[in-house]
Structure 1
Amino acid sequence: MLLKQRIKLFQTFLAHPRHLGTSSPASQSFKKWYQNLWTTERTNLPPYNHFTQIGDPILRQQAAMVPKEHIDSPEIEAIVEQMVKVLRKFNCVGIAAPQIGVSLRIIAMEFKGQIRKELPEAVYQARQMSELPLTVFINPVLTVTNYSKLKHPEGCMSVRGYSAEVERFEEVKLSGLNQLGTPSEVTLSGWNARIAQHEMDHLEGKLYTDHMDRSTFACTCWEAVNTKSGRVEIPFYK
C-alpha cells in the first residue's frame, strides 16, 4: 500500500515537471493542450509495473539527471522501489528507469546465486558470471577499466523474445549515488560488467540492437514456434 501511495505521489510529480526545472508552467499547459488534440487519455501511467518495449520513444531519449535536491525525495524513492519490484517480478538481472517509463538516470542490478542452478556450468564459467547483490545507482558514471572485449549472447526485457551476440568491455567501474544519496563506487568484471554497460546504454537512449552482431539476432523461442506449429505467445506481463 505504501508503494502505491508513493507511486501516486510520483505521478503527481510528473504532472508538474517544473519541479525538475525543465519547463515553465505556461509551456507545459500549451504542451498538454496540443497533445490532447491527437492523443487518447491514458489510464496507465508510469512508473509502470511492466517493461517498456522497443518502439516506445522513451527508450530513445537521453535520460535526465536526478536533481540533487530530489535524490532523497519520496518520488525518487518510489521510482527505485518500483524498479526493484519489476526487476524481481520478471526475474531479470538489470533495469533502468526508462524501462518503466521514467526518463531519469537511475539503474538497478542484481544477479542472484540461484541463476547458477538454472544454467549449464560451462555457460556460467564461459560468460564469467558471478553473484551480484542488489546494487542501485542514481546519476551513475561508467568508466572502462579493462578495454578487452568479450562477445556473448545478450537479451533485453525491452526487446522481449529476442537475443543477439554483443561485444562488451571486460571490466568497468560505476560511480554515483546509492538510493540513500550516499556516494558509491563499484568495479565490475565479466557478466556483471556487461549488465552495467547494458543498463547505462538505456540511459543514453540506446539498446543492445544498436551494437549487436546482426547475423546472430534470433527469436529465443524459434524452436518452440516450429514444435507448436506457430502457436506460441511472448508475454509482456507476469
Structure 2
Amino acid sequence: MNMRIKPLIALINQQSTTVRHFSYKNILTWYSGLVRPKPTKPPHKHIIQVGDPCLRAISKPVPTKDIETEEVQKLIAYLKHVCRKYDCYGLSAPQVGVPLRIFIMGLTQKALDKHFTKKEIAAKALKAIEPLVVINPEMKVTDYTKVVLEESCESVKGFCADVPRYMSVELKGYDEDGHTFSMNASGFTARIIQHEMDHLDAKLYTDIMDKKTLYCPHWQVVNERCGKVELPYGPFK
C-alpha cells in the first residue's frame, strides 16, 4: 500500500463516526432539496402568502342553506385552528385558500396583555374582542374619521406599514350557527373588521398603506444573524 495513503486511512478511522455523520447529514440535505412534499389542497392548515392567486380573487357569498353543512363547518374549524396556531386576531377564508366570504376575529385579554404595552393599549384604544365567526359580512362606515396606525398581515409575512382606516363601522352578517347579527365597532376592532373585509374583496393592506413606511420589524435581527434567519409571522397590529 502506498505509504502516503496509510496516514489518511488512519485519520479517517479515528474520525469515522464524525465523517459518517457529516456525510449522512449532507446527503439528507441534498436529497431533501430534490424531493419536495406534495402541496396540500385548500383549506390549508397554514396561511398562504401574497402572490397566491386566491388572495386576489373576490370571495363568493356562502348560500345560507349551506352554513350548517359539513363542508362549511369544516372550513370554520380550519380557520379557528390556524388562527390559534399563528396567534392571529383576525383571519379570512381566502388566507387558507378558500375564496368564500367568511372571516373570524377575536382578541383575548391574555393576548392583549402579551402583545401590547399599556401605552399601546391606550394609544390604539385596544380592548379584548369576543371570538366571532362572520359569514357573508356587510359593513357600513359610521364614522369617516381616518386613523393611521401600524398594521401587518399574516399573508405578507415579516412586514409592517402605516395604514389609514375609518374610526367606526357597523357590521352585519351570519354567525357560525346561521343566525343573523349586527354590531357597532370602533377603534382597533373596526380596524380588524376593515382589514378582513379587504381580504374578502381581494385587497391587501399594501394597496392602501403609506408606501414610505413599509419596513421589516426584524431587520436588526437579520443583521445580527448575518441574514441567517427566517422571518416570522407577525401578529396583526
Indicate the TM-score class for this superposition, using the shorter chain for normalisation: 0.7 to 0.9
2:124 pairs with 124, 127, 141, which one?
Answer: 127
Please give the residue correspondences for 1:151-170 in structure 2 after superposition, counting only pairs within 5 Å. Answer: 151-170=148-167
Task: Name the residue aligned to 2:199.
Answer: 202
Deviation at 1:115, TM superposition (A): 2.6
Q: 1:113-161 deviations in whole A, cap 9, x for unaligned? A: 1133222211111111110010111100011111111100000000010
Structure 1 distance, partners of 2:52, 2:227, is: 26
Report the RMSD for the aligned CA atoms in angstroms: 1.3
CA distance in 1, matches of 2:112, 2:102: 27
Please list, as runs of the form range in 1=range in 2, the aligned pairs for 1:82-161 lying within 5 A after superposition.
82-118=78-114, 119-161=116-158
- The equivalent residue for 2:231 is 234
Unaligned runs of 5+ in 1: 1-40
For 1:114, what is the secondary structure of its paired residue? Answer: helix
Distance 2:192 2:86 in 1: 16
Matched to 1:48, the amino acid is H
SS in structure 1 at match of 2:109: coil
Could you say which structure has the larger radius of gyration? 2
Superposed displacement of residue 164, structure 1: 0.2
CA distance in 1, matches of 2:223, 2:113: 28
For the residues of structure 2 that align with 1:184 and 1:159, how far apart are their CA atoms?
Answer: 31
One-letter amino acid matched to 2:54: I
Q: How many residues get paired?
A: 196
Q: Secondary structure at the match of 1:107?
A: strand
1:24 maps to: none
Residue 235 of structure 1 and its aligned partner are, at CA, apart by: 4.6
Structure 1 runs of 4+ off > 6 angstroms? Answer: none
Question: What is the letter of the counterpart of residue 148 of structure 2?
Answer: K
The answer on 1:62 being equivalent to 2:66 is no
Identity percentage over the alignment? Answer: 39
Q: CA deviation at 1:177?
A: 0.4
Q: State the alpha-carbon separation in 1 of the partners of residues 216 and 166 from structure 2.
A: 25
Choose from 77, 82, 85 the match for 1:81: 77
TM-score of the pair, normalised by structure 1: 0.80
How far does residue 68 in structure 1 lie from its aligned partner after superposition? 2.0
User: Which one-letter code corresponds to 1:153 in the other structure?
Assistant: E
Question: For the residues of structure 2 that align with 1:181 and 1:68, how far apart are their CA atoms?
Answer: 7
- CA positional deviation for 1:44: 0.8
Deviation per CA, 1:4-49, whole angstroms, max 9, x where unpaired?
A: xxxxxxxxxxxxxxxxxxxxxxxxxxxxxxxxxxxxx954111100
Partner residue of 1:224 out of 196, 199, 221:
221
From 201, 209, 213, the equivalent of 2:210 is 213
Question: TM-score under structure 2 normalisation?
Answer: 0.80
1:207 alignment partner AA: L
